[in-house]
Amino acid sequence: MTDVFTAHHVIEYPGGYTRSVGPVIGRFLTGLRDAKLLAVKLADGRVLVPPTEYDPTTSAEVAADGDHWIEVGPKGTVQAFTWVAEPRAGKHGLDKPFAFALIRPDGADTALLHAVDCGSADGIRIGSRVAPRWRAERTGTITDIEAFVPLGDGEEPEPATLHVPAEDEQPVTGINVPIRLEYELTAGVATSRYLKGLGEGKIIGGRAPSSDDVYAASRGTDPKSGEPTSIEVEVQDTGVITTFCVVNVPGLSDLAPEIPYVSAQILLDGANNCFFGLIRGISVDDVHMGQRVKAKWADELLPDHTSIQWFEPTGDPDADYELYKDYL
Amino acid sequence: MAGDRVAVVGVGQTVHRTARKDVSMAGLVREAAREALDDAGMTWSDIDAVVIGKAPDMFEGVAMPELYLADALGAVGKPMIRVHTAGSVGGSTSIVAAKLIAAGLHERVLTVAYEKQSESNATWGLSVPMPFAAPLVAGAGGFFAPLIRAYMYRSGAPRHIGHLVAVKDRLAALRNPKAHLHIPDIDLKMVEESFLLWDPLRYLDVCPSSDGAMAMVLGSEKVADASAGPVAWIHGMAMRSEPTMFARRDQVSPQAGKDCAKDVYAQAGITDPRNDFDTAEVYVPFSWYEPMWLENLGFCAEGDGWKLTEAGATGPDGDIPWNMSGGVLSSNPIGASGMVRFGEAAQQVRERSGDYQVELKTGRALGQAYGGGSQFFSMWVVGNKKP
Amino acid sequence: MRDVAVVSYVCSTTAREAVHNETEMIVPVLHEAVEKSGIPSKEIGFVCSGSLDYLQGGPFAFVSGLDAVGAWPPVRESHVEMDAAWALYEAWVAIQTGEIDSALIYGFGKSSPGDLHEIMALQLDPYYLLPLWPSMVDMAALQASAFLAANGSTEDDLAEVAARSQRNAQQNPNAVRKGNVSAADVLKQPVTHQPLRDADIFPITDGSAAIVLAAGDLARKVSKRPAWIRGIEHRIEAHSLGVRDLTHSESTRAAGVAAGVAQGRVDVAELHAQFSHEELILAEALGLDAANTKINPSGGALAANAVMSAGLARIGEVAQRITNGDADRGVAHATSGPCLQQNMVVVLEGE
């Protein structure tokens, strides 16, 4: 069996997601900026915190303005909790072990979820009294509360640092949410075989046992039958441009050459599927359907996509349209 | 069509914009859903089940958002399903919802599709770079533009055909207040002078990236018969899929699209689509896809699609107006775009399309959506008469 | 309603599939499921799958999955970004319309490449919850904490569930965690997510499952003893934990009533409990007790929990026991979302 390639993979939208929050969430977040816990009284009299734009039971509208908005807490009671022994760097607000808890602020009928900084797992129980520890710099996000902290009998919470509004300060309308996830991905057998071939200057394809069709850079199956392309076949590094486009958009990929450049579908000799490649070594105006091309291999071959740098014309006569028309 | 009769009894749609910064995701879907409920004369509690659709979760960074949106959409205590079939998802979501009624399980189903693309960026969301995969150095346009070139070569279509569609659909959008793009002085010259992106596609040949949502209330025959307003009866619905890539695949006019159309026409008794429909709302994200889909959907012989476009047949005064709403070229909240097609087709046969209403002759309209590498298709036929 | 039955079920799970990619992983499962069904693959009327892009680490996981199906000529096909139990529901609905008589359903996913517990935080309210990054296990532990406080159950009861799961799993070749373990053994483990221990938390699992459904006479033709679906219902609850009663599963109860769980003896139940306390909550919601019902004879999700196919596998496990003649009537359950937010209940019966 071929050794399979693995790679580290990160998904992270650069700069974080830009979330507009709408007027109801916005009013609650604006309250946090002012170190206040705002709640709404629902039609049935229950007090909902944190507020949503809808009643969580009936889905009826919750208006962004009106005298159903009230302040609750900030003291509250723990309804349920768990201990986080190992905080996640870059995700959790605290860099030491803490609890997650459902906390019902005084005056509210629902609970909100937040961190509790209580020293140890023994420092919290259902029924514990807690209050927010506000960050000094608050921007209008749920993390303006750094964590809740336990309150002793008769103890009053630390007051928050006063938020001094900038002159042109507006209610909160959006938040930024970074999301970074990391993976160790496996290429799989067919792709590993193909990549290994690239490192040896070969284009490896696969054929299913009951098929005549050869797939260059097979992803593991003959998609028509779903059968594994278990028979390894080497295809040529020459082929015909079936169709293409001239790309004039800058910055689509770190690997893209300077615009304008040509991206083409290429039917490699010995294969029955199209292969995407860049066409260089010729003016973009001279690229055409049916043109014969050959892979330009990198000086240093590696088992990855950098080994084929691009394709360039061979100078051979064009292929007859009849030969490739079924591949469009 | 298999099963019990189903009708669209309410339609709602948000205003589509580059960024709907005035609403949360819940606020966006509720704006469409409330309008659909109002249109149907219903409230949240009248609804039996909710079916929601959208394109990849990475656009908004919320996984399986039906969970977060359950109470926003009145689904508490009810069945809720989330569909994802790439670009065709708005259409397939509508079909999954309709089948709940066709199967005799429910009387009133709310279906919603949305995308809030401004939370990230569509180009990033569609092509998160993956290890081992051949790098996408040319973007989405780099995938479709070569297929357009192949179509031009096959059909002999002249280069200006796409631009005609780009102008036609943007002019149509001027009559649709909810459309994203309103370009009052749009004309051929403006399209021809717009930046060349992926030859032959120019900037104005390409759809925008939008925030938006679409919703429909679907009802059983009993509900539809009791409806105060006009309803759109579903005469046929179908979905077909084929792999992205396989040997000798026709990527220009995929077999899955032809098979899907054949199926939906057979259900609805459509034999001559150009004459049997009053209008069609078809997923045209790049201008050239109008002539390509005219052929794939059998509105003309293979190779003749561009001639219909050139002759103005698909314009507001033509014999078969396409995308009177302005189409995907004027508003493209990806996960909702298919449902917008299905819903706009329904609004036409309900005569609820305002300034872009077509004159009804046959009383039937087609809604079509596609996705992936032109491989996932969903379609429905709606009519103003009970099938 | 048309009579619809499970006529084939195949499942393959492992702790870590480090060799094959997702498409390669599901090929043998799909092919075996179709072959076992006795229905020629090109005659199967509909294909429906469940998967999650965030497991694969990139968009459109289901698109490459289609390469394993053999979707040529083009097929009637759909996909839910949900556990494949809901794909089965969509297929069952399509059969009810009369449009088709059979369907292939599959679910797949690898949990091992990323940090699954963290990834599932992306299911949470993006404004109030995700920025705090409570993991999937943190959320479950909060529910366990509320449940134990309200219900009078103890960590001993959780350990009994965890230990029985591992003992039952000894008979299950797909189990990734199994052993001749007692509750006392479990209680010797440290508490990792108060009040939960590792044994109370599902093991990270990669894999897939597939089912073929067939209607009426077709099912009778291809299967000696089809597992008929007598009821299939699902319900969802509000999202925020703070507005829900975490000590009961109202959506499971309602789905169970609608599906007709109580209308007969329940020989076997496969409950999609990813954490020990969830089994206790679910059993109560469905009115099941261990004296009359074999609960999770496969070991359940505590033995193997391939996210996006584990709910479908519960249906398959019950169906298989009916087809084998080990049971006459059974209940399968699938769940989705934090703390049992959404639940499906399926009643299956032999003839």
Contact status, residue C14 vs residue C176, Cβ threshold 8 Å:
yes
Smallest Cα distance from C95 to chain B, Å: 8
Residue to test with chain A: of B20, B23, B24, most A Cβ within 10 A:
B24
Residues in chain B with CB shorter than 8 Å from the CB of A273 are 245-247, 249
Model pLDDT for residues B74-83, shown as the tens digit of each residue: 999 999 999 9
Residues of chain B with pLDDT under 70: none
Q: Cα–Cα–Cα angle for B216, B217, B222, nearest 5°?
A: 145
Contact status, residue B240 vs residue C76, Cβ threshold 8 Å:
yes
Other Cβ atoms less than 10 A from the Cβ of A248: the count is 18
Residue with tokens 């240093």: A300
> pLDDT-based confidence at C151, cuts 50/70/90?
confident
DSSP classification of residue B206? B
- Which of A8, A57, A326 comes nearest B248 by C-beta? A326
Question: Are the Cβ atoms of B242 and C78 closer than 8 angstroms?
Answer: no
Question: Are the Cβ atoms of C53 and B92 closer than 8 angstroms?
Answer: no
SS3 B290: helix
Residues in chain A with CB shorter than 8 Å from the CB of B78 are none
**CA proximity to B315, closest of B211, B171, B197:** B171
pLDDT of residue A8: 97
pLDDT in tens, chain A (328 residues): 558 999 999 999 999 999 999 999 999 999 999 999 999 999 999 999 999 999 999 999 999 999 999 999 999 999 999 999 999 999 999 999 999 999 999 999 999 999 999 999 999 999 999 999 999 999 999 999 999 999 998 888 888 888 888 888 999 999 999 999 999 999 999 999 999 999 999 999 999 999 999 999 999 999 999 999 999 999 999 999 999 999 998 888 777 889 999 999 999 999 999 999 999 999 999 999 999 999 999 999 999 999 999 999 999 999 999 999 999 8
**CA proximity to A240, closest of A205, A275, A212:** A275
**CA proximity to A261, closest of A271, A272, A270, A250:** A250
pLDDT of residue C272: 98
Helix C250-259 / helix C276-286 crossing angle, nearest 10 deg: 40
> What share of chain C has pLDDT > 90, as a percent?
98
pLDDT of residue C283: 98
Question: Are the Cβ atoms of C78 and B83 closer than 8 angstroms?
Answer: yes
Question: Are the Cβ atoms of B80 and C342 closer than 8 angstroms?
Answer: yes
Smallest Cα distance from A80 to chain C, Å: 5
Question: Are the Cβ atoms of C86 and B67 closer than 8 angstroms?
Answer: no
Statement: residue C343 has pLDDT above 70: yes
Is C242 within 8 Å of chain B by CB? no
Largest distance between two CA atoms of chain B: 57
Is C240 within 8 Å of chain A by CB? yes
Smallest Cα distance from B382 to chain C, Å: 18
Q: Which residue on chain A is closest to B139 by alpha carbon?
A: A252
Residues 6 or more apart whose CB falls under 8 angstroms from that of A30 comprise A140, A171, A172
Question: Are the Cβ atoms of B71 and A256 closer than 8 angstroms?
Answer: no
Is C60 within 8 Å of chain A by CB? no
Question: Are the Cβ atoms of A17 and B142 closer than 8 angstroms?
Answer: no
pLDDT of residue A87: 96
Model pLDDT for residues C13-34, shown as the tens digit of each residue: 999 999 999 999 999 999 999 9
Residues in chain C with CB shorter than 8 Å from the CB of A57 are 238, 243
Chains that contact C by 3+ CB pairs under 8 Å?
A, B
**CA proximity to C242, closest of B27, B80, A63, A56:** A56
Chains that contact B by 3+ CB pairs under 8 Å?
A, C
* Cα B216 to Cα C37: distance, rounded to the nearest angstrom: 38
Question: Are the Cβ atoms of C336 and B67 closer than 8 angstroms?
Answer: yes
Is B80 within 8 Å of chain A by CB? no
> Which neighbouring-strand residues pair with A54?
A61
Model pLDDT for residues B90-148, shown as the tens digit of each residue: 999 999 999 999 999 999 999 999 999 999 988 888 878 888 888 777 888 889 999 99
Question: Are the Cβ atoms of A11 and C58 closer than 8 angstroms?
Answer: yes
Is C67 within 8 Å of chain B by CB? yes
Size of interface A-C (CB pairs under 8 A): 175
H-run or E-run covering A238: strand A238-247
Is C124 within 8 Å of chain B by CB? yes
**CA proximity to B326, closest of B236, B158, B210:** B210
Question: Are the Cβ atoms of B248 and A57 closer than 8 angstroms?
Answer: no
DSSP per position, C188-248: HSPEEETTEEGGGBPPEEEEEEEEEEEEHHHHHHH-SS-EEEEEEEEEE--S-GGGS-TTS
- Which of A174, A252, A260 comes nearest B139 by C-beta? A252
Question: Are the Cβ atoms of C53 and B126 closer than 8 angstroms?
Answer: no
* Cα A86 to Cα C135: distance, rounded to the nearest angstrom: 11
Residue with tokens 């708005």: B90
Smallest Cα distance from B48 to chain A, Å: 13
Q: In whole numbers, what is the pLDDT of chain B averaged over residues?
A: 97
> What share of chain B has pLDDT > 70, as a percent?
100
> pLDDT-based confidence at C66, cuts 50/70/90?
very high
How far, CA to CA in Å, does A142 sit from each of A40, A146, A172, B75, B249?
A: 17, 9, 12, 26, 51
Question: Are the Cβ atoms of B372 and C89 closer than 8 angstroms?
Answer: no
Chains that contact A by 3+ CB pairs under 8 Å?
B, C
Smallest Cα distance from C160 to chain B, Å: 31
Burial (Cβ within 10 Å: 0-12, 13-18, ≥19) of residue B329: buried
ipTM over 0.85: yes
pLDDT of residue A2: 56
* Cα B227 to Cα A179: distance, rounded to the nearest angstrom: 46
Smallest Cα distance from B212 to chain A, Å: 13
Other Cβ atoms less than 10 A from the Cβ of A122: the count is 8
